[in-house]
Structure 1
Amino acid sequence: MQPFSAIATRVLSANPTRTPSPFVLLERTFRELCRGPRPLALPSRLVHPAIATTDRSRGIPLDHVRAALRAAGPNSQLARRVWPEILRRAQAPRGHAWLVAAAALAVPSLRRVKARRRWGGLVELADLEQEMLWAFVRELRLVDPSDPAAFHCMRRAADLAAYHLLRQAKQHRRNIVPVDPATLARIEEASTPTSWDTGLLERAIAARVINDADAELIATSRIDKIPVSRIVDGSQSRIRAAYRRRSAAEQRLAQAIRADLI
Structure 2
Amino acid sequence: MTDSTNSWAGTDDSGVATAAATAGADVVRTLYGRRLARIDKGAGDFATVADVEAEKAIVDVIRAARPGDAVLGEEGGRQGAADAARQWLVDPLCGTLNYALGTMVVAVNVALRHGAAAVADPFSGEVFCTDGTRAWVRRDGLDEPLVPTAATSLVDVNLDPPFPGAPGFRAVDLLAHPAFVERFRPRVVSTTLALAWVAAGKRAAYVTDGGDLSGSVHFAAGIALCRAAGCVVTGVDGSPVGEGGRGLVVAADQETHDRLMSMIRGHG
TM-score between both structures, scaled by the size of structure 1: 0.26
Q: Which structure has the larger Rg?
A: 1
Task: Between the two structures, name the one with larger relative contact order (CA 8 Å, sep ≥ 6).
Answer: 2
Higher strand share: 2
In terms of fraction of residues, the more helix-rich structure is 1
Give TM-score, length-normalised by structure 2: 0.26
